[in-house]
Structure 1
């Protein structure tokens, strides 16, 4: 599926000329003890395949790492160093296992600084290449985000968290109960984003995504629920659907759920126009005796003003909250 064209506004352009999602293996040459990397491509190799077929050549000393190569360790007995010895074969088997046994054993090339770095140097991004990692390393991503969000303070992050918490309280009785079997049937028992099969009985591996985030006062409903793997949902977080899905995916999502495509494709947050603000306010002010009522009212008023919902309040609630026209 094609993605929308995006304009680079960060001042950090992507390096062209190599596939940014492909994988590498890294190893220390057993002859010269220098670090080497070998390009693998878009399909990871397993330890057995590496052991049987690998011919990894050191770029510094040209030593070939293969199960058919003698071991160059002078401190080993001479007969142990022979490639066909039991000791050498077990060494080679473990050597290739170390570099290929798990996805996090592989390395990746950064599309912004051109370094080949370990798996954990990149943040997760479901569906991107065999390693499912972002194109830029964490260091470069930090520089990019500094340009995209130069004034994102701790206070702003706190306010965002507060809004999400308030929204969850406001919507507490608005969420519909989702029929899991129906959800899996509509989405073909697959993660909508990655298309990977999901097992309804393995509850920890999948989740129900608020397509339009609850942060903007959209309750969970049949038309606002998508089936995602846990990893894909973690990657989406509170992002708008237009910031996470491709155009084709948005169209397909609207067809499956009956959601409003205008809302799905919006690049800017649209507060739920159908929310019963007064009902939500009543629910929000149903507090425990030990709650900080002053703080609770302050946070609610700030959110109502920010979301331009004051006009939807009844005169009684405006007076109750001390909101003047």
Structure 2
């Protein structure tokens, strides 16, 4: 059966051909101060190997950034600028380390506006390329969300953000490391929903699905992981299993993963209350000195009440949050 094409309902088109999972490095030319970006692909660089092997040429002035180049600083003494100098080599080591040491050091290209932007310009998307960032920059995402969520007020958007943040804190330390080879074997190297063959080496084509969504406080475990194509996973998002999978698929999913079929087939979402709520309280209240502490306490209390988790608190935390005197 021919699969339906994804329908764009936002009116904001993607730019075809942009390798949106790829990472880029960014650096300011030492000679002319121009910003340069170089696409490096799906594998982040090792700082020491980069220092020893790469040559980055400025796109404007052609200055070669390499351990073999003299530094172009005329106002520095020669012992600090000649390539053979230990001082110069220490400079080059730090130069390449700054550009490659952490994921936050890298850049990414937005597949909506086409700009190459720093790491911080993109929101997190777990297991989504080497940088685990979304395809669209935060500016474009704001425009897209204005179409997808036209009726959501500022307060509703804020509350949704809080719920996600607290859910992440609740699950911190609960998620298991998934054995990807085992996952591919269990699902016959195919998307469970579409049966599309998947290649584990093509990381942008597949995703690990939280069968029971983290939104409802279910951690990622072997029993709660399914293999989906990227497109199928985007369609599922935070849907409860029975909203996305057919009855036969739910039965097969339970057989393959060992998950609770009754829970999977429930018509309404059920919150996972088997979780260490006290740890969440401790993490959530680790605030900066200038944070609005009363506001954070009220946010946390509202979620705990809405999720019926107050009884899971220790007497000390109940008293700390004002649930008991």
1:239-285 CA distances to partner (integer Å, 9 max, x unpaired)? 214699999x9787433134559967xxxx93269xxxxxxxxxxxx
TM-score (norm 2): 0.56
- Tell whether the 8 Å contact from 1:4 to 1:246 is kept in structure 2 after alignment: no
1:132-188 CA distances to partner (integer Å, 9 max, x unpaired)? 111000110111111000111246558979x99xxxxxxxxxxxxxxx9xx97xxxx
Mapping 1:80-119, distance limit 5 Å: 80-119=80-119
Match of 1:53 in 2: 53
Q: List runs of 5+ in structure 2 lacking aligned partners.
A: 165-173, 184-209, 227-233, 271-304, 307-325
Structure 1 window deviating more from structure 2 (71-80 vs 113-122): it is 71-80
The CA deviation at 1:212 is 5.9
Mapping 1:132-171, distance limit 5 Å: 132-154=132-154, 156=156
| Partners of 1:88 and 1:244 in 2: CA distance | 61
Match of 1:190 in 2: 178
| Partners of 1:23 and 1:130 in 2: CA distance | 7
1:221-241 CA distances to partner (integer Å, 9 max, x unpaired)? xx996279xxxxxx9xx9214
The answer to whether residue 66 in structure 2 is matched with residue 66 in structure 1 is yes
The answer to whether residue 15 in structure 2 is matched with residue 27 in structure 1 is no
The verdict on how the C-alpha distance between 1:90 and 1:149 changes in structure 2, with shifts beyond 3 A counting, is same
Aligned to 1:271, which of 259, 268, 272?
A: 268
- Tell whether the 8 Å contact from 2:50 to 2:96 is kept in structure 1 after alignment: yes
> Considering only aligned residues, what root-mean-square deviation do their CA atoms show, in Å?
4.8
| Partners of 2:244 and 2:86 in 1: CA distance | 53
Match of 1:36 in 2: 36
The CA deviation at 1:25 is 0.4
Q: List runs of 5+ in structure 1 lacking aligned partners.
A: 165-179, 196-208, 229-234, 274-298, 301-325
The verdict on how the C-alpha distance between 1:212 and 1:92 changes in structure 2, with shifts beyond 3 A counting, is closer
The CA deviation at 1:82 is 1.0
The answer to whether residue 26 in structure 2 is matched with residue 16 in structure 1 is no
| Partners of 1:85 and 1:152 in 2: CA distance | 60
| Partners of 2:44 and 2:84 in 1: CA distance | 27
The verdict on how the C-alpha distance between 1:157 and 1:86 changes in structure 2, with shifts beyond 3 A counting, is closer
The verdict on how the C-alpha distance between 1:152 and 1:54 changes in structure 2, with shifts beyond 3 A counting, is same
| Partners of 1:84 and 1:37 in 2: CA distance | 27
Match of 1:239 in 2: 238
Structure 1 window deviating more from structure 2 (29-38 vs 79-88): it is 79-88
TM-score (norm 1): 0.56
Match of 1:256 in 2: 257
